[in-house]
């Protein structure tokens, strides 16, 4: 476990995607630096996966909004896209191992349905929680919470 700046991870991931997709619009709303203690590389993996999904499942001319917000003894990170969203029947299962949301084009999309499952496990191991809010046709917002530096672990 090491101390790290969450904002640096978010900025690194956005820079990585700007190299791959330079025309993609991404907005970061992070009012202040957030210090955390944990596995920096694993949190980078989570943020990268969530941003990657947002890029994959939304139109190129839409913005991906990334928000960091402190609340009580933890921080919330949300990655919002304005794409096709997740069908209601899939929201409950989206974090299950090997599950892929059934859509018209899901059979054409790459992936094994492990990314969100792995993200959930990483966040749980660091005393946090991962969830999604989505409305079909209006996009999806994936959020996770982690305890702030020197705070007590969250109870799930």
Q: For residues 118-142, give the mean pLDDT.
A: 95
At 35, the pLDDT band (50, 70, 90 cuts) reads very high
Write out the DSSP string of 42-88: HHHHHHHHHHHHHHHTS-TTSEEEEEEEEETTEEEEEEE--SS---H
pLDDT for residue 65:
98
Separation of alpha carbons 125 and 38, rounded Å: 9
Name the token pair of 148: 């702030």
Q: Which of 66, 114, 109, 64 is nearest to 94 (CA)?
A: 114
pLDDT for residue 114:
81
Separation of alpha carbons 45 and 118, rounded Å: 9
For 48-61, how does the pLDDT look when each residue is reduced to its tens digit (9 = 90+)?
999 999 999 999 99
For 71-123, how does the pLDDT look when each residue is reduced to its tens digit (9 = 90+)?
989 999 999 999 999 888 887 878 777 666 654 444 445 555 688 999 999 99
Indicate the domain borders of the chain: 2-147
pLDDT for residue 145:
97
Q: Which of 115, 40, 46 is nearest to 78 (CA)?
A: 46
Percent of the chain at pLDDT > 70 equals 85
User: What's the pTM value of the predicted model, to 2 decimals?
Assistant: 0.87
Which range (84-93, 128-137, 146-155) has the least confidence?
146-155
Separation of alpha carbons 25 and 132, rounded Å: 21
Fold of 2-147: Heat Shock Protein 90 (3.30.565)
What's the mean per-residue pLDDT of the chain?
87
């Amino acid at each position: 476990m090491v101390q790290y700046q969450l904002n640096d991870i978010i900025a690194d991931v956005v820079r990585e995607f700007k190299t791959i997709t330079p025309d993609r619009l991404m907005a970061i709303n992070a009012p202040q630096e957030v210090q955390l203690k944990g596995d920096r590389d694993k949190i980078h993996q989570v943020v990268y996966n969530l941003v990657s999904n947002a890029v994959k499942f939304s139109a190129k001319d839409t913005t991906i909004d990334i928000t960091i917000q402190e609340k009580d003894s933890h921080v919330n990170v949300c990655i919002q896209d304005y794409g096709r969203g997740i069908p209601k029947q899939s929201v409950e299962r989206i974090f299950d191992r090997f599950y892929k949301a059934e859509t018209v084009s899901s059979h054409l999309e790459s992936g094994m349905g492990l990314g969100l499952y792995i993200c959930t496990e990483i966040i749980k191991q660091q005393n946090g929680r991962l969830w999604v809010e989505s409305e079909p046709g209006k996009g999806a917002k994936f959020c996770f919470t982690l305890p702030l530096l020197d705070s007590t672990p969250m109870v799930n």
